Structure 1
Amino acid sequence: MIIFFHDNSKITEIVSSNGDNFSVTKNSLIVPTIIEFAEKNNNEILVWCHQNEKENLNHSFIESFFFHNKFLISFNPSDSNYFERYVGYIEDTQFVNVNKKVKYATWMMSSYVGAIHAATIIAFKNSNNRKDNFDYFLNSIARLGLPKGLFCYSAPKLLIKPSQNVNLKSASLFDLYRFTKQHYRIRWVFLLFFSLLLFEKKFTFAPFLASLFYKRRTISTKNLDQITLVSKINKLEIRSIDVLIPTIGRKKYLLDVLKKLASQTHLPANVIIIEQNPIENSVSELEYIDENWPFKIKHHFTHQTGACNARNIGLQLIESEFVFMADDDIDFENTLLENAISIFEKMNFDAFLVACHLQSQVIKVESPKQFAVFGAGHAFVKSSCLKNIKFNTSYEFGFGEDNDFGMQLRNKGYDIHYISDFKILHLKAPIGGFRVKPKRLWSDDVIHSKPSPTVMLFRILHCSNEQNSSYKLTLFIKNINKSFFLNPFNYISLFKKRWNRSLYWANILKNKR
């Protein structure tokens, strides 16, 4: 491990974890120096730290964190980030809404303190400019690498004790526009310009124009795939897993799922079935659950419908080390659970999604990567991560409950990954689902909400003001039709009314929690 201490602009000292000191040329710039050391020491972890935190750097945390080489971690102890709130106008994922109290998946990196493996620096050296300032350099690597399988985190444990009153330089508008042009589709440059004009009353023509002269940066997946992903995590001893399945009116399909589970090379300990039937005085139709199965079936019957409620009941019945959160109309290989346990062993993931596809879709195999969304029908989760977490029933019969659940995991310091090496076929069974169409609070509204109030609820709870403003603008543009050109004022008026109605009901749902 080689540590670079700096004063924000230049290297002040370089030491190794075994006590070796390296000579430092006076006023050595950070980026060229780190690249040079990476090329000469390609099997080392490279650490950077502000000179004021020299005694506060958590060496043992870094060594234990890098159980494989595809990590990039940093921490910004100030109240802001290098790219501040305006970044919400160009990115709608939760990667930019960093919770600094916990380990949090993000490409928002900081030059204050952090670590990366030398092999990663080498993989990106042709995608970046040595003349970039260090913050821009790190954010560029993370933004390019995260979708390709580089695991990027904000990690407060990089420092032994919390730092107080730290003020760090933020990106200029020129840097933000340049970053947008180099890392996003060009339409986002225009959307950023109009967002700043409409919502911030800022006319930013000069940085907008300057950004158009930059080329988009790319990174070849091959470069990252050359980095070894050999984990130092020990094998699990218990390896137990439960399966949680909410079901409604899909007797035949559920039986097929149970048969698939019974043929697994690694059998589940418990299969938890939450059966719903809203018909009064109805009883369970799943007589086959009393047959002889190679696992224990925990069956709960309820007249209350809704996936959120059903899954919450099931969460309370989990006993094993891991849980497979499944749907009742899926098909999969008999090695699915064995492969999933293997992923937990090798990668030490908190939660991951398996590629889930329809019959007509083809899955592209990619390296494991961090994922922006959560899906409760094809997820594997460490049971220890589920403590004090449940599905928000305000989303019942709507959209957004899965991603809200994912955000609860993230805000407790757990990450969500995506695995495409093995997959699940979603049969999209024609029966089941919402057998009795529920009546929502807004069902009788004369003016129909847009977006759906449950979508708006998620945005209120988990998105920044800038993200919501950008979403509003893009929704407005996407829904422009003939009526806009016939009567633009009427179109704008109706759009505002539908948005405000959605906002109204979302706040009602929020207050009912």
Structure 2
Amino acid sequence: MIFLKHNGKTPVAVSKDGHPLELEFKNQAVSAACFLLAETFPHETLVWFHEEVEPNLNLAFIENFPRESEMWSYAANRPLVIAEEMGFVDQSVFFRIQSGVKYPTWLMSSAVGLISCKRLLHFKQYIPVDSNFDLFLCILAKTGISKGLRVYSEPRLIRSSEKSTLSFSKNTKTTYTAIATLMGEKWLIMFALQLLWYRKKLNLFQLVKSFPVKSIPQRDIPHFEVTPSDQNNVKPKIQFDVIIPTLGRKEVLKQTLTDLAEQLLLPQSLILIEQNPDTASVSELDYLQSQSWPFEIRHTFTHQTGACNARNLALDQVEADWVFLADDDLRIPSDFLQKADAFIQAEDPQAFTVSCLQEGEIEPEKTVIQWPAFGSGCSFVKASALKALRFDLALEHGFGEDADFGMQLRKTGVDILYNPFLKLIHLKAASGGFRKPVEKPWDTESPAPKPAPTVLASIVKHATPSQVQGYKTVLFLKFYRLQQIKNPFAYIRLMQKRWKVSLIWAKKLLNTK
């Protein structure tokens, strides 16, 4: 390991495996020194830290840095370089920093962190050095996420007695530069306008100064090369429980179960939650008993509809090491669970979503990446990560429960990866014959709420204040061309009313026990 001590502006000392190195940096920026060290020691791990943090480094933890594909940092009593207002233009989960757990975020810090020299060199010709080391690290991390770099705030880099609450910068100066570098002029203008609208602030000098800043050529940067796990060379180790909620899709479900029965690595059990709102009805899934299945089937029949409740009933019955949360209308290749087993053994994730496209659709992702979403019908989660988590029933029969569950996982320190090499086909089967729209308590509101209160509830529950406002701005702009009112002032007045109605109901949902 290479340890780089700095004072915030320039390198102070460098050591390798505990031995000082005599290297001449000539007052270089810390970011330039990082690239120099990576070129000199391409097979090492580079650890950086501010000289003020040195006494509190958790060296025992740092020396066990496990994965070449990861980048860690922790702010350690120092504010982040990015202002919270950047949430106006970045509503992703990676902007929602969490203290106390390992959390996926591009909000890096110069206080302490580490990265594989090999991974750092991957970006050398694309990421410019910067005198602001914090800003350099943030740009590197945000650029790297889509290319396969997994970036985290990791509080264990600092000894437990020294933990602190993470905080954003109070100054938007570097935020302008970050947006210009990472997102371009359009989003820079969007940021400035919202800063003026919502905060009554505008740094015109910094805005003008940021326009000439060159954006990172994201498309030119290659993805990390990842070889799909070779299940033929891995001895099966994982036991899977499969969870499927179903309602009125007897024949489609049978095909999905048949695919599961033909797996080269069979699931330990299938936890099937069948729903029918007709209180006089009984199960229509006669083939569960009339046919022989090569795994245990735990079948629950309920008259209470709703995917959240159904999945919660299933989660209460999990016994295997891992859970595969599946939809009832999937085509599953015979080697699917075998490949999932191999991936888990190779990468040691705690949760991941897989490719689930309709026939003919093309998978856009080229490598395994950190995923800002969560698919409750196409995801694997380690059972130990699920013990205290359940789908929020306040979001039942709406939208937003998937995103909410994903954020619940992240807030406990569980990252969600996306594996494009594990592929399902989503049939998008028609709804069952006894499905009907569920009446919502806000259906009689006038004007109607916009967005759906369940969606807004999930956003308000997890997002930063600026992210909520940024979502509102984008919603208003996108919806304008889809509705009939073309007078912009009349449109804004109406949408403000609809937003207010939605927010009232969202808060009621969040207060539902």
The TM-score with structure 1 as length reference comes to 0.93
Query: Structure 2 counterpart of 1:260, which letter?
Result: D
Secondary structure, aligned partner of 1:271: strand
Secondary structure, aligned partner of 1:373: coil
Instruction: State how far apart, in whole Å, the 1-side matches of 2:135 and 2:87 are.
Output: 17
Structure 1 position 8, deviation (Å): 1.5
Pairwise mapping of residues 491-506 of structure 1 onto structure 2 (< 5 A)?
491-506=491-506
CA 1:102–1:299 in structure 2 vs 1: closer, same or farther (change >3 Å)? same
Of all paired residues, the percent bearing the same amino acid is 36
What 5-or-longer segments of structure 2 have no aligned partner? none
Q: Does 1:262 align with 2:261?
A: yes
CA 1:192–1:222 in structure 2 vs 1: closer, same or farther (change >3 Å)? closer
Pairwise mapping of residues 41-440 of structure 1 onto structure 2 (< 5 A)?
41-66=41-66, 68-78=67-77, 80-163=79-162, 170=169, 172-219=171-218, 223-225=222-224, 238-290=237-289, 291-432=291-432, 435-440=435-440
Query: Structure 2 counterpart of 1:285, which letter?
Result: E
What 5-or-longer segments of structure 1 have no aligned partner? none
Instruction: State how far apart, in whole Å, the 2-side matches of 1:326 and 1:404 are.
Output: 17
> Which stretch shows the higher mean deviation, 156-165 or 111-120?
156-165
Structure 1 position 26, deviation (Å): 7.1
Checking the alignment, whether the CA contact within 8 Å between 2:263 and 2:334 is kept in structure 1 is yes
1:299-321 Cα shifts (integer Å, max 9, x gaps): 01100000000000000111100
Query: Structure 2 counterpart of 1:359, which letter?
Result: E
Structure 1 position 422, deviation (Å): 2.3
Secondary structure, aligned partner of 1:344: helix
Secondary structure, aligned partner of 1:65: coil
Checking the alignment, whether the CA contact within 8 Å between 1:120 and 1:227 is kept in structure 2 is no
Query: Structure 1 counterpart of 2:41, which letter?
Result: N
Instruction: State how far apart, in whole Å, the 2-side matches of 1:429 and 1:389 are.
Output: 29
Instruction: State how far apart, in whole Å, the 1-side matches of 2:59 and 2:95 are.
Output: 27
Query: Structure 2 counterpart of 1:426, which letter?
Result: H
Structure 1 position 241, deviation (Å): 0.6
Secondary structure, aligned partner of 1:252: helix
> Which stretch shows the higher mean deviation, 444-453 or 181-190?
181-190
Query: Structure 1 counterpart of 2:346, which letter?
Result: K
> Which stretch shows the higher mean deviation, 129-138 or 69-78?
129-138
Secondary structure, aligned partner of 1:64: coil
Checking the alignment, whether the CA contact within 8 Å between 1:365 and 1:421 is kept in structure 2 is no
Instruction: State how far apart, in whole Å, the 1-side matches of 2:166 and 2:416 are.
Output: 31
Structure 1 position 205, deviation (Å): 2.3
1:475-500 Cα shifts (integer Å, max 9, x gaps): 222222575544x4432221111000
Checking the alignment, whether the CA contact within 8 Å between 2:9 and 2:131 is kept in structure 1 is no
Instruction: State how far apart, in whole Å, the 2-side matches of 1:28 and 1:184 are.
Output: 27
> Which stretch shows the higher mean deviation, 420-429 or 174-183?
174-183
1:337-359 Cα shifts (integer Å, max 9, x gaps): 01111111101111111111112
Structure 1 position 266, deviation (Å): 0.5
Instruction: State how far apart, in whole Å, the 2-side matches of 1:74 and 1:266 are.
Output: 38
Query: Structure 1 counterpart of 2:510, which letter?
Result: K
Checking the alignment, whether the CA contact within 8 Å between 2:268 and 2:320 is kept in structure 1 is yes
Instruction: State how far apart, in whole Å, the 1-side matches of 2:502 and 2:151 are.
Output: 35
Checking the alignment, whether the CA contact within 8 Å between 2:82 and 2:172 is kept in structure 1 is no
CA 1:170–1:304 in structure 2 vs 1: closer, same or farther (change >3 Å)? closer
Checking the alignment, whether the CA contact within 8 Å between 2:13 and 2:20 is kept in structure 1 is no
Structure 1 position 62, deviation (Å): 2.5
CA 1:167–1:93 in structure 2 vs 1: closer, same or farther (change >3 Å)? closer
Structure 1 position 446, deviation (Å): 2.3
Q: Which residue does the alignment assign to 1:37? A: 37
Checking the alignment, whether the CA contact within 8 Å between 1:196 and 1:204 is kept in structure 2 is no
Checking the alignment, whether the CA contact within 8 Å between 1:12 and 1:24 is kept in structure 2 is no
Checking the alignment, whether the CA contact within 8 Å between 2:223 and 2:366 is kept in structure 1 is no
Checking the alignment, whether the CA contact within 8 Å between 2:371 and 2:418 is kept in structure 1 is yes
